[in-house]
Structure 1
């Protein structure tokens, strides 16, 4: 006997409208727990040191977010700063892009763009030590988010490796994470495609 809570197909092309209505219904609780999974991943980052650094991955995110909040940044920027390296655990070679995809459905487009590109912008501070082009970010010099990404890296990312910095706790940022991931995914009113916001508020540059 077929379980009424299980689809009828073994190949997706054979699925019925009823099957996909069932899957949509069953997926809702999972989608609703996205913030929990993000917070769990941050907790795991607290158990993994950044090899050679003085702090954990979690502490780096907390420092970045704390600096953003103290700069007067809005919730999208603060959560972006908190989660800008969340992809590091599974995708260390392209963590910036993975991190951006985690937040992209729920934050302004410019915040997602900055998180997606912060890796190449961050190379400005160390790339020359490896024989890389530290100015590789100049390929984006005409992009409207160039200045935002440069400032994000200067003020909140490259500066946040200090074991003595008085970061706020993950519990402090948890309500912000839940608010952002509680938004309707890909809501145009949230994404505001083409709008460029300053890092210290939501006004246009």
Structure 2
């Protein structure tokens, strides 16, 4: 594989950067496959839960799909907790940043804030404020985020729920991540 000539970016030439752009475009086209592979590897559970991380994602996405959500929201629901492993303290923002170039502002906002909104179900049991989400009460996507948490996230920990398979969602993931990123539109 051909490589650039520089050791400091400030010394790169047009040819160097054209070469890197070619490689990066190829790498970007494989994003969906890397995401699917990562999701498939989530076959263990966070201690204490009855299902795996993968099963939680599949249940949530299946619920969104069966509820008639658009493909963008179904895929975002599938990926909403993808940051749990690497960014447990800000998993929502992590997941949202992965989705951001490919989804609407509404979908991005919902995924970015779902972690805080989800604390509605648990914070009061641990001495926290279950209504912390209310600081966003006037935001246009406030209710949509409540609905996301209620309908897809908090209800998707059931070991007896029949989820769709990751293979069934894979074409949707590939379509979303093959879209022209919003910042190019």
Q: CA RMSD in A?
A: 1.2
Aligned partner of 2:25 among 28, 51, 65: 28
C-alpha distance in 2, partners of 1:187/1:171?
Answer: 29
**Could you tell me which of 56, 62, 71 is aligned with 2:58?**
62
The list of structure 1 runs, each at least 4 consecutive aligned residues, that deviate by more than 2 angstroms after superposition, is 186-189
Structure 2 partner of 1:124: 120
Q: Which runs of 5+ in 1 are unaligned?
A: 190-205
Counterpart residue number, 1:149: 145
State the 1:50 CA deviation. 2.2
Secondary structure at the aligned position of 1:22 is classed as helix
Say whether 1:185 aligns with 2:173.
Answer: no
Structure 1 match to 2:41: 44
Rounded to whole Å, the distance in 1 between the matches of 2:129 and 2:91 is 19
Asked if 1:11 corresponds to 2:8, the answer is yes
Query: TM-score when scaled to structure 2?
Result: 0.96
1:86 partner SS: coil
Structure 2, gaps ≥5 residues long: none
The size of the alignment, in residue pairs, is: 185
TM-score by structure 1 length?
0.87
